[in-house]
Amino acid sequence: MKAMLNLRRQITDYVAKIMATLATLFGLFWLVWILWTTVSKGLPALKWSLFTQMTPPPGSDGGLLNAFVGSFIMSGLAVLIATPIGIAAGTYLAEYARNTRLGETIRFVNDILLSAPSIIIGLFVYELMVRQMGHFSGIAGAVALSFIVLPVVVRTTDEMLQLVPSSMRESALALGVPQWKVVRQVLYRASLAGIVTGVLLAFARISGETAPLLFTALNNQYWTTSLGEPMANVPVVIFQYAMSPYEFWHALAWAGAFVVTMLVLVLGLVSRALLLRKKVTV
Amino acid sequence: MFKSYPALAMDRSDQASSRDRHDKRADMLFHLVVKGCALLVLIALLGAAFSMLWGGREAFATFGWKFLWSSDWDAVQRKFGALVPIYGTLVTALIAMIIAVPVSFGIALFLTEIAPVWLRTPVAAAIELLAGIPSIIYGMWGLFVFVPFMAEHVDPWLDENLGALPITGPLFQGAPIGLGMLTAGIVLGIMVIPFVASIMREVFLTVPSEIKESSYAIGSTTWEVVWDVVLPYTRSAVIGGIFLGLGRALGETMAVTFVLGNAHLLSASLLEPGNSIAATIANEFTEADSPLYLSSLIALGFLLFAVTFIVLAVARLMLMRLAKRAGENRQ
C-alpha cells in the first residue's frame, strides 16, 4: 500500500518534471523560430544601400536612410527629455518619499505606466500635441516615446538608489554635506551603472515601438530633419511595407526588422553586462 | 594682529550660517524639483485618461451606453459600436493566456527546480532577452510565416476534426485562410510567455530556501515542494504576474494587427478574421474621415485604457503583497 503510494508520488513527480522541461523547449522553440525567420529573411535583404538611400516609392530601388535618421532623432530626443525627469522622479521616490503615501502612490502609478499599452500613449500624445498643432510631427513622436522612456528610468533609478547602503548616506550627512550634494555626488556615483542600464533598456524598448509613432510622427517618404513635419521612422515603415503587396517592400521591411532586433538584443546584452550582479526588474 | 578667540568663533559662525542658508535653499530647491518631476508621472497617467475621455466625448455623447454593446461599425452611415473589437480583444487575450500560463509555469519550474544549475542562468537570460524583442517582429513573423502555416496545416485539420463536434464545433468552422482570432491568440501567447515566465521565475526565487529544504527533508518530491510549498507561498505574486501578462495581451497592438484580418465580424468561429480594440485603432486611425469616426476610435482607446488599468492595478497589488512579505522575512 505504502509502496504503491510512493510509486504514484514518484510518477507524478516524473510527469511534472517532463512537462516542465517540455514547456521550456516549447517556449524556446517559438522564440528560436521567430529569431531564425528574422535572420534568414533579413540578412539577405541587408545591403549597403539600406543605409544610403531613401525609402522608395513602389517599384523602385531604395533603402531606409530617412527612416533610420528619423528614428534616431526621435529616440534620442525622447531619451534626452525623459532621462533627467525620470532620474529626478526616481530620486524623489527613493530619497525623499520612501514609505510615504504620496511616494507609494507615485510608485504604483509609475508601475502601471510601465506596462500600459503603448497605443494608449500614442492616443494621449495625439490629443495633447497633434490635435493642437493640426498635423503630425516628429516632435510629437519624440514626446510620445519619452512617455515610454520615463517610467523605465524612474523605476531603475528608484531601485538602484534603494540598493545604495544607508551607511554611505549617513557618512556623508555626518560630515555636514547637504542632502542635495549627497544625492548628486555620492548616491548618483554609487548607482551610475544601474541608472545607465535603465536608460539603455528604455532605448531598446522604444527602438521598436510602432503604435505610439503611428499616431504622432506618422511617416514621411522624404528626407527631413525638421521636427515640425511628419517624420519617417523604422517601425512605421516596417509596418507599412510589410502590409503592402510589393515583394521589394517586404524585403526592406525584413531588413529593417533585422536591424531593429539586433539593436535590441545588443542593447539587452550590454545592459546585462553593465548590471553585473545588481538586480533590477523592469 | 591676532584675533581674539571669541572674534574668531564669531567669524566662523557667520561664514557657516551664510553657507547653511545657501545649502538650505539649495536643498529645498532640489527637493522641490525632484518632487515636481515625480508628480509629473502622476499627471501623465491622469492626463492620458482625461485626454482620451475628452477625445471620445463625441462618440460617448452620440451613442451613450449603446456604444458598449452595439456591433455596428459603419463609416458611411456614421454608426459605431465597440462590441466587435471588445469581443476580439477578450477572445484573443483569453486564448493567449490559456497557452501562456501553463507554459510559463513550466518554464519557471524548470528554471528554479529542475534544470542543472549551470543551465539556469543562460536560459533565463535568453528568455528575458527575447521578452524585449519588439512586438512588430512577432507580427511580421505571424503574417509571413505563421499565417501560411496555420492555413495549410492547422486550420483544415481543426475544421475537419473538431468542426463537426456538437458544442465546441462552431468554434472551429470556417475557411482555412490562416488569419483570425486563433492565430492572433497564439501569436499573443507566444509573445507573453517570456514575459510571464521571467516574472514567475523571479517570484519563485523569493521563496526562502529554509522552507523548501524543510519540505525536501521530510521526503517531498520536487513536484510536491513546488505545488504544496512554493506555489502557496507565492500565490498572490503568481496571479499578479499572470495579470501583468494579461494586461500586455489585452493592449498589444502590432502583433495582433498583422494577423487578425481586420474584419468587423461577430463570429463564433475562431478561424474567422476579427478585430481587436488596439488593431482597430491602429488600422483605421489615419483613415478616419469624420470627427465622429475619429472620436469613436479614441473612445475605444479609453475603454482599453480603463480595462488595462484595472488589470494592471490588480497585478501590481498582488505582486506588492509578496514583496512586502519577502521584506518582512528579511528583517
Question: Is residue B316 less than 8 Å (CB to CB) from chain A?
Answer: yes
The answer to whether residue A93 scores a pLDDT higher than 50 is: yes
User: Residue B79: what are its φ and ψ, rounded to 5°?
Assistant: -120, 125
Cα A244 to Cα B222: distance, rounded to the nearest angstrom: 51
Which percentage of chain A shows pLDDT scores above 90? Answer: 64
B203-233 in b/e burial notation, b at 16+ Cβ within 10 A? bbebbeeeebeebeeeebbbbbbbbebbeeb
Residue B40 touches chain A, beta carbons under 8 Å: yes
Please report how many Cα atoms fall inside a 13 Å half-sphere around the Cα of residue A8, on the Cβ side.
5
- Say which residue the cell 463536434 belongs to: B165
Domain boundaries, chain A: 1-45, 49-277
Specify the DSSP class assigned to residue A50: G
Nearest to A17 among B27, B222, B305 (CB): B222
> In angstroms, how far is the first alpha carbon of chain B from the final one?
60
Residue B231 clears pLDDT 80, i.e. is over it: yes
Using one digit for the tens of pLDDT, what is the confidence trace for A132-147? Answer: 888 899 999 999 999 9
Cβ of B244 under 8 Å from any chain A Cβ? yes
Residue B157 forms contact with A (CB below 8 Å): no
A135: left (phi over 0), alpha (psi -120 to 50) or beta: beta
Cβ pair B45:A112 closer than 8 A: yes
Closest CA to A56 of A211, A275, A273, A240: A240
Is A265–B109 a contact, with Cβ atoms under 8 angstroms apart? Answer: no
Alpha-carbon distance B222 to A41, whole Å?
42
**CA quadruple B140, B142, B146, B147: dihedral sign:** negative
- Per the CB < 8 A criterion, the answer to whether A233 and A211 are in contact is no
Of the candidate ranges A140-149, A188-197, B164-173, B304-313, the one whose mean pLDDT is the lowest: B164-173
B:46-105 residues touching chain A, CB 8 A cutoff: 47-48, 51-52, 54-55, 102-105
pLDDT of B2 higher than 50? no
Residues of chain B above pLDDT 90, percent: 54
**Which CATH architecture describes the domain A49-277?**
Orthogonal Bundle (1.10)
Interface of A with B in 106-165 (CB under 8 A): 106, 108-113, 115-121, 123-124, 126-128, 131, 147, 150-151, 154
Taking residues B94-108, report their average pLDDT: 95
Match 514609505 to its residue by C-alpha cell: A99
With contacts defined as CB-CB under 8 Å, which chain A residues touch B197? 27
Burial A257-272 (b: 16+ CB within 10 A, else e): bbbbbebbbebbeebe
Q: How confident is the model at residue A57 (pLDDT cuts 50, 70, 90)?
A: confident
Q: How far apart are CA A27 and CA B105, in angstroms?
A: 11
Query: What whole-number distance in Å separates Cα of residue B119 and Cα of residue B111?
Result: 8
Query: Is the overall model pTM greater than 0.80, yes or no?
Result: yes
DSSP B269-292: -TTS----HHHHHHHHGGG--SHH
